[in-house]
Chain A
């Protein structure tokens, strides 16, 4: 036989038509607590068929009389009855590492190196959609993962890809994708959700020429997206910029640790050259065996109480969540800045560059040093957070900064923002920029630095 707490009845009356005995009638009294009109039960003719309970849309609406009937029906707080919550507080299953025996260096292309870094970083869940010039990474994963009982899923789109990562990352697994600029654009909505729900995931974006479909040649014009535009809302992620195939492996491997340390996506930005370029790659001395973090929605007893969600309906709750994210971003900024300084100690001119342009800028530094020009290279490895702690001193001492990049000034914007926030009095800033799939050349860098030094010496 059913019983009903009137406060939990919305008065829809679906039970009325379900009852073949006519036990239930529409109410007439407005319930003062809910403002609704609950139904009225008269169970004289009730045969306990319980069809009314099936018809009731409310979990605490019509319920079978039983042990619960012993409760004070008018006290909603007590009504829940003895429903023990038996899912324990989940314990984290920590990551471990396995030592790797020495191996001869590999000769592989950048996307392959990145895929190997992911595998060694414990990634066995790869989701992706083919796009040049990143596809080889996905192709290698499609071959490697089944050999290691891992998973590669070719999704219907980049939009589906990032949401598969939301699922697998939310389950606590190390997951990643390979993509390139137009595909990365499509993933941004999902990245915003990942950040909001604090789900770790790794994105390797091999940047190509844009805007629009652009071309498949190397570019660096997604720096702004990765550093300032990861979808809607208050979003940031650590952005790593490798410069060699070796760093494609090392930084991709590192990115999984960072993603899980902060419960946040990590973006590895390469340029098209770096993705396609074959080079020498040494393997690390260990590989990671990932555990399962305590917050994961893994689908087992101990993780049953968890929720992966980016909704906070109450403004105060959402503001608090944003402040928590801010605090996390501040921790990343304080501890995760990475940079490579090359001949910066006595440099009058400091070239700032990342990815392949940093390599050729290094070539320019070598060439110029041979001519006696005091020039150095500052190479941010994290584009966000910009390594301002290391850059401050370099920038304050230099007479010129030259930003070398394959975009319209996106790296320079990051640098200028960092300088500005840090209150650094920077020297004049000039640049060497190419776009549309063209990288700056070593000769162009040399020429720009020489022009600056000649100008200073009054030669011009």
Chain B
């Protein structure tokens, strides 16, 4: 049937000069023209022309956008399914169709097609398999048959290049697609069937059912070096022996979940971001200048899982609550648990400039290796706070005037019945040993970190108080 889904004139085909205004770039007898006619008719019959976005591939059908009067996107080689996901998620109401050849889809674009199919987003893939690279001039495709001559399999494809890839079966083996069928174009019956299958695949998208994939066995008479009639015969007698026709998967009783449409609401956006109008109460009377006139650096170091990172973050939050500037840089090894883990924290009266802490004023060490490594980096007159229940010996190579405060973080936490609060004991010890901020400043950030976890709040408050108390007992804070 004639369809208005093809442009009246192919303006994009060499500016519609001469007969190019009404003819395709396909060679005589090429199956692409037949498959594209069926696609155009399906778009027309389903009344989705306005909503359709056609993603053209790289290959002989690269210029599909010359012909189809729909929204058109031309993709990089093999990437059409990824581009389609972009379009579909941008406008869930659009009907997104990828029209791809065997080099594009089954070779360079394998990762994209498999992941898109498994994702199962309602898009439609028309995969044209003609067992050869056309546009580049007759090279071996992933679907080239064993024994088939191509310019890159002279003498015939051997198993050294692997067996031809049966894409429809592979896609059907995935969970995502709702419909997978292989069709052909070599006679009237197959063509009528192919037309129906393409329409069905499109309909499954229009209904929101899901991902549909149609593999079309097609003829490339030029590179098969055959007449169009012989090429049809070759697909019928030879190619379909390797690529049997038929429905490979039908799970059309499913329905893909609705894809949301973004909302733009100021309050909802701020709420999602976890913002608050409340300015935290301030407890400090001024910058802790007894540690440094305007920029205090701290290093918290331990093994992964010790809680050094959380403690560092809480210090930074506390500082900012007090109106100071602060930064915290985490650093850890490749392990999610265990390995080394340390954080560099700065608290500045106005602005943190160098966020690293190669020579910290204060070191909080959760274990012996951390103390051994970073203890000697603490600047003269600084403070080292360490877990005395874990570390046996304090290194002798500390700088002049470094005050050493041992508090049994882990033992205190264990006594309280929860070893994971040892970093809160450490924060208490930091407060007790340095007077960086008042106790209430720390407790405020601890409480806000435990919003919704009332059961453990008291435990954390006890851990903090105990740490502060023990550190104060070891050495009264300077200043």
B455 located at the interface, meaning its Cβ lies under 8 Å from any Cβ of chain A in the complex: no
Residue interface mask B218-231, A partner, CB < 8 A = 1: 00010000011100
Beta-carbon contact of B50 and A300 below 8 Å: yes
Q: Which of B9, B37, B86, B280 contacts A57 (CB 8 A)?
A: B37
How far apart sit A51 and B87, CA to CA, in the bound complex (Å)? 35
CB distance from A271 to the nearest CB of B (A): 11
How far apart sit A13 and B226, CA to CA, in the bound complex (Å)? 13
Beta-carbon contact of B8 and A171 below 8 Å: no
Interface centre among A166, A197, A299 (most CB of B within 10 A): A299
Q: Number of A interface residues at 8 Å Cβ cutoff, please give it.
A: 120
Interface centre among B7, B50, B326 (most CB of A within 10 A): B50
- The segment from A145-153, A202-210, A322-330 found at the interface with B is A145-153
A200 located at the interface, meaning its Cβ lies under 8 Å from any Cβ of chain B in the complex: no
Beta-carbon contact of B316 and A278 below 8 Å: yes
Q: Which residues of B contact A157 (CB under 8 A)?
A: 111
Residue of A nearest to B3 (CB): A59
How far apart sit A327 and B8, CA to CA, in the bound complex (Å)? 34
B266 located at the interface, meaning its Cβ lies under 8 Å from any Cβ of chain A in the complex: yes
CB distance from A265 to the nearest CB of B (A): 14
CB distance from B109 to the nearest CB of A (A): 9
Beta-carbon contact of A166 and B29 below 8 Å: no
With A57-B29, A157-B111 known to touch, is A171 a contact of B9 (CB < 8 Å)? no
Beta-carbon contact of A105 and B94 below 8 Å: no
Q: Which residues of B contact A307 (CB under 8 A)?
A: 12, 65, 72-74
Beta-carbon contact of B21 and A77 below 8 Å: yes
- The segment from B76-84, B132-140, B241-249, B426-434 found at the interface with A is B76-84
With A13-B227, A163-B83, A297-B73 known to touch, is A56 a contact of B266 (CB < 8 Å)? no
With A105-B320, A304-B49 known to touch, is A280 a contact of B325 (CB < 8 Å)? yes
CB distance from A230 to the nearest CB of B (A): 14
Q: Which residues of B contact A11 (CB under 8 A)?
A: 28
Beta-carbon contact of B33 and A153 below 8 Å: no
Interface centre among A147, A156, A306 (most CB of B within 10 A): A156
Q: Which residues of A contact B112 (CB under 8 A)?
A: 156, 159-160, 163
Q: Which of A33, A119, A273 contacts B269 (CB 8 A)?
A: A119
Q: Which residues of B contact A277 (CB under 8 A)?
A: 327-329, 355
Q: Which residues of A contact B268 (CB under 8 A)?
A: 147-148
Beta-carbon contact of B327 and A98 below 8 Å: no
With A51-B188, A300-B50 known to touch, is A163 a contact of B82 (CB < 8 Å)? yes
A83 located at the interface, meaning its Cβ lies under 8 Å from any Cβ of chain B in the complex: yes
Beta-carbon contact of B31 and A57 below 8 Å: yes
Beta-carbon contact of A59 and B277 below 8 Å: no
Beta-carbon contact of A103 and B329 below 8 Å: no
How far apart sit A119 and B1, CA to CA, in the bound complex (Å)? 47
With A54-B34, A103-B270, A277-B355 known to touch, is A169 a contact of B69 (CB < 8 Å)? no
Beta-carbon contact of B24 and A57 below 8 Å: yes
Q: Which of A163, A304, A366 contacts B76 (CB 8 A)?
A: A163
A394 located at the interface, meaning its Cβ lies under 8 Å from any Cβ of chain B in the complex: no
Residue interface mask A71-114, B partner, CB < 8 A = 1: 00000110111010101000000000011111111110000000
Beta-carbon contact of A80 and B9 below 8 Å: yes
Beta-carbon contact of A34 and B89 below 8 Å: no
Q: Which residues of A contact B73 (CB under 8 A)?
A: 166-167, 170, 297, 307-309
B85 located at the interface, meaning its Cβ lies under 8 Å from any Cβ of chain A in the complex: yes
Within 8 A of B (CB), among A146-191: 146-151, 153, 155-157, 159-161, 163-173, 175, 189-190
CB distance from B59 to the nearest CB of A (A): 13
With A276-B330, A280-B320 known to touch, is A60 a contact of B22 (CB < 8 Å)? yes
Within 8 A of A (CB), among B391-439: none
A53 located at the interface, meaning its Cβ lies under 8 Å from any Cβ of chain B in the complex: yes
With A77-B21, A103-B270 known to touch, is A309 a contact of B72 (CB < 8 Å)? yes
CB distance from B369 to the nearest CB of A (A): 20
How far apart sit A8 and B40, CA to CA, in the bound complex (Å)? 18
With A300-B93, A304-B69 known to touch, is A363 a contact of B354 (CB < 8 Å)? yes
With A167-B82, A306-B72 known to touch, is A104 a contact of B115 (CB < 8 Å)? no
Q: Which of A34, A146, A362 contacts B353 (CB 8 A)?
A: A362
Beta-carbon contact of B21 and A76 below 8 Å: yes
- The segment from B145-153, B171-179, B254-262, B461-469 found at the interface with A is B254-262
CB distance from B324 to the nearest CB of A (A): 9
Beta-carbon contact of B91 and A298 below 8 Å: yes
Q: Which residues of A contact B326 (CB under 8 A)?
A: 107, 279-280
With A12-B29, A68-B2 known to touch, is A59 a contact of B87 (CB < 8 Å)? no
CB distance from A191 to the nearest CB of B (A): 11
B14 located at the interface, meaning its Cβ lies under 8 Å from any Cβ of chain A in the complex: yes
Beta-carbon contact of A148 and B34 below 8 Å: no
CB distance from A137 to the nearest CB of B (A): 14
B279 located at the interface, meaning its Cβ lies under 8 Å from any Cβ of chain A in the complex: yes
Beta-carbon contact of A276 and B329 below 8 Å: yes
Beta-carbon contact of B31 and A101 below 8 Å: no
CB distance from A155 to the nearest CB of B (A): 7
Q: Which residues of A contact B260 (CB under 8 A)?
A: 146, 149-151
With A54-B195, A56-B33 known to touch, is A299 a contact of B52 (CB < 8 Å)? yes
B478 located at the interface, meaning its Cβ lies under 8 Å from any Cβ of chain A in the complex: no
How far apart sit A345 and B326, CA to CA, in the bound complex (Å)? 29
With A148-B262, A148-B272 known to touch, is A103 a contact of B277 (CB < 8 Å)? yes
How far apart sit A224 and B180, CA to CA, in the bound complex (Å)? 46
* CB pairs A–B below 8 angstroms (12 shown): A8-B22, A34-B19, A58-B24, A58-B33, A59-B33, A104-B276, A167-B84, A167-B89, A171-B94, A172-B90, A300-B50, A300-B71
Q: Which 10 residue pairs of A and B lie closest in terms of their CB atoms, listed nearest first?
A: A167-B86, A299-B94, A57-B33, A363-B353, A12-B29, A171-B90, A163-B82, A124-B262, A156-B115, A168-B86
A residues contacting B by CB (< 8 A) are 5, 7-8, 10-14, 16-18, 20, 33-34, 36, 50-51, 53-61, 63-64, 66, 68, 76-77, 79-81, 83, 85, 87, 98-107, 116, 119-120, 122, 124-125, 127, 144, 146-151, 153, 155-157, 159-161, 163-173, 175, 189-190, 193, 197, 245, 273, 276-280, 283, 287, 289, 297-301, 303-311, 313-314, 356, 359-360, 362-363, 366, 439, 441-442
